[in-house]
Homo-oligomer: A and B are copies of this chain.
């Protein structure tokens, strides 16, 4: 069973539609609950970072893992619209044969610093032993009721847009898989920097989300995100592969040139970049005046994702 199929099955098992407080259950970046606040819904999300799936212990510093873990989760909250994270529960499974107290304290101090940047307060957690290390964050946040954006909401004719750049994390994963940290080039170090410190675009989202019909954060790559939006909205998403060009950072271009890779594969299929992917109607598009917005496709009647001007094989991004 493919991962998306499994997730669909899970969604069916846990289909809960008899609780009026649940505004949005499983299947979006956050769950959305109405807990009685006049102006805000509460949002809830959980995300993990797992050894050998999302990181290699010898390659990344504890500080890097901590920052990435926080931003992965904050990204889910921000992708709900005018949202803010407030509280966190942190848990994890650690192996004292692999990491020591010093490592853990470095990790936690950075976690705290990064929490402070986002106004997040840790309210609890749990620590277990696990031979394969993992850390998990659960965030509790709020989103303004009038400015909430879901994965569902795109209409026929809407444009599919991306803010910022994609592909550098997939390149960083390739580097992590094949090299030691002290053997990487300056460009590669830069790509690892982008990978561990994904840029989140809160200001942009807060200012512009009123014009979005749907939004998802780019944790699984453009192609897979488009597939999710296609399913959620019961529409076909047509992407032009030529548009991938504007999504690639110069470092990714250069690295791909050196390593004889196609950089546009990296922007189409690479995940973990956490930039916003959203849909906008033709009517609303004129209100968006930011040169970092890149139109890459369009919603049409039909099903699935079509990639124009692409003759390669559709790849599934695996974190590792």
Contact = CB atoms under 8 A, between A and B. Distances in A.
Contacts of A124: 25-28, 30-31, 44-46
A94 to B, nearest CB: 9
Given A10-B108, A13-B112, A35-B37, A50 B125 contact: no
Contacts of A46: 89, 91, 124-126, 136, 138
A122 B26 contact: yes
Contact of A129 (B122, B123, B320): B320
Interface stretch (A1-9, A162-170, A274-282): A1-9
A105 interface: yes
Nearest to A318: B129
A210 interface: no
A123 B31 contact: yes
A12 to B, nearest CB: 10
What DSSP secondary structure best describes chain A's contact surface?
A: mixed
Interface string A1-41: 10100110110011010010010011110110101110000
Given A9-B105, A16-B121, A30-B124, 6 more contacts: A25-B121, A25-B124, A46-B138, A89-B138, A91-B136, A129-B320
9 contacts: A13-B112, A27-B124, A28-B124, A31-B89, A44-B123, A44-B124, A50-B128, A89-B138, A129-B319
Interface of A: 1, 3, 6-7, 9-10, 13-14, 16, 19, 22, 25-28, 30-31, 33, 35-37, 42, 44-48, 50-54, 87, 89, 91, 93, 101, 104-105, 108-109, 112, 121-132, 134, 136, 138, 140, 318-320
